[in-house]
Amino acid sequence: MSFVCQACGGSDLKPFYRVPRVPAHSCLMFDTRREALAFPRGELDIVFCRGCGFIQNRAFDASLTRYSAAYEETQAYSPRFLEFLRELCDDQIARFGLGPGRTALEIGCGKGEFLVMLCERSGCRGIGLDPSYRPERTRSEAASRIEFIRDFYGPRYAHLQADYICCRHTLEHIGPVREFMRLIRSTIGDRREVAVSFELPDTERVLEEGAFWDVYYEHCSYFTRGSLARLFRATGFELLDLYKVYDGQYLIIEARAAAGPTEAAFAAEDDLERIEALVERFADRVARYTEMLAREVCAHKQAGGRLAIWGSGSKGVSFISALGLGEELDAVVDINPHKHGKFLAGSGHEIVGPGALQQIRPELVYVMNPIYTEEIRRILEELGLRPRLVPLAGLDDARDLPAATAIPRAAATGCDAGTLRT
């Protein structure tokens, strides 16, 4: 049986990016390097649907993934991220009139930070579902008003009713997205007043930047504003708003149930032609970007430099995997204390806290998410360290391999850039 688009059922699919043997998980923590190295790998075979614009990994095998309490996805140890959560909570409370006597349901609540904060700041009740939830981490006066269910959302939870349904950074982990949205729509029924809010990564930015570090196995589904809107409309929702947040990294779509499919109303929905053009260039941009980075790493190591990356989440694992980094990498740093002493799937690198850099003293630190650059700089300065920080950002066509073009290939005699990616 041939593969069809999981959003619209169409068969006009364009393959455009393939990577064999990538780690099947990137936020799953391992106690030993041996476990991390032995964890299964999968394949990226990313395709674009010319009918609806949805992008998906048609080689995705859900049996390779293992979501559990050992899954450590939280960003809530970052002051910058907590600021964003507070702003988001206050915005959603104001938009949808959340308060005492009302109930918020979060599908894929992770460790519960957003739902707890929402209930604290609004006084509403909460229901959260996620197999990776850790009850010992919820310390809040709102805890008595929140029911956490350590499980995946599915038909057996169709009885759960709420005034507000949110789903943050979960839809991209789901393959059959149309089936998932139909389930949510059917549980709402005729309750047209129920507000629905989804947040997920913006794939338009990924395509524009050639951001290969944002394409990884756990994310089997990729959306732009247009493809996300088309999915919602086709599954019986009326759109209230469609916008980007967090320096354009995330999409938010807000909707209510409709009687049936609805028509486009936002200019951003008309993006099929633009996204297909970006898709056409993506693989080439990635090839040039990884070449630039590999040459930069080789030159740095040849000169006797020490290298670290800051951010051990999915971006970090994808970055390491794409460049084939092994002993070239002196440290993988994260501020989340629950990750310290654990090991990364695929590469087996140990995750350390910022304090470890006082001994390692890297001259070069790649920042996996540029939004945290100044926060990281302050932490390093407090440790008495001033390495060169290189935030991962888009490859600018006008520059064409910046920095790396100045590195003579002959200089990397002890580090062949081509071998880094094998």
Q: How many domains does the chain have?
A: 1
Could you report the per-residue pLDDT of 243-291, keeping only the tens digit for each? 999 999 999 999 999 988 899 999 999 999 999 999 999 999 999 999 9
Conformational region of residue 383, where left means phi above 0, alpha means psi within -120 to 50, and beta covers everything else: alpha
Whether residue 297 is contained in a domain is answered as: no
Could you report the per-residue pLDDT of 344-365, keeping only the tens digit for each? 999 999 999 999 999 999 999 9
Q: Does residue 414 carry a pLDDT above 60?
A: no
* HEC string for 211-226: CHHHCCCCCCEECCHH
Return the pLDDT at 411.
31
Cβ–Cβ < 8 Å for 279, 14 = yes
Whether residue 292 is contained in a domain is answered as: no
Q: Does residue 405 carry a pLDDT above 90?
A: no
Whether residue 160 is contained in a domain is answered as: yes
Cβ–Cβ < 8 Å for 240, 228 = no
Alpha-carbon gap, residue 297 to 310, rounded angstroms: 15
Q: Which two tokens stand for residue 185?
A: 């729509």
Whether residue 405 is contained in a domain is answered as: no
Mean pLDDT of the residues in the chain: 92
Cβ–Cβ < 8 Å for 392, 369 = yes
HSE at residue 321, side-chain half, CA atoms within 13 A, is 29
Could you report the per-residue pLDDT of 92-148, keeping only the tens digit for each? 999 999 999 999 999 999 999 999 999 999 999 999 999 999 999 999 999 999 999
State whether residue 239 is helix, strand or coil. strand
Whether residue 391 is contained in a domain is answered as: no
Residue 93: which domain range? Answer: 79-275
Of 377, 137, 404, 172, give the one whose Cα is nearest residue 289: 404
Q: Does residue 207 carry a pLDDT above 90?
A: yes
Whether residue 172 is contained in a domain is answered as: yes
Alpha-carbon gap, residue 237 to 241, rounded angstroms: 12
CATH of the domain at 128: 3.40.50.150
Whether residue 16 is contained in a domain is answered as: no
For residues 169, 70, 38, 33, the Cα torsion angle rounded to the nearest 10 degrees is: 120
Alpha-carbon gap, residue 201 to 17, rounded angstroms: 18
Whether residue 249 is contained in a domain is answered as: yes
Alpha-carbon gap, residue 6 to 234, rounded angstroms: 12
Alpha-carbon gap, residue 389 to 141, rounded angstroms: 39
Return the pLDDT at 328.
94
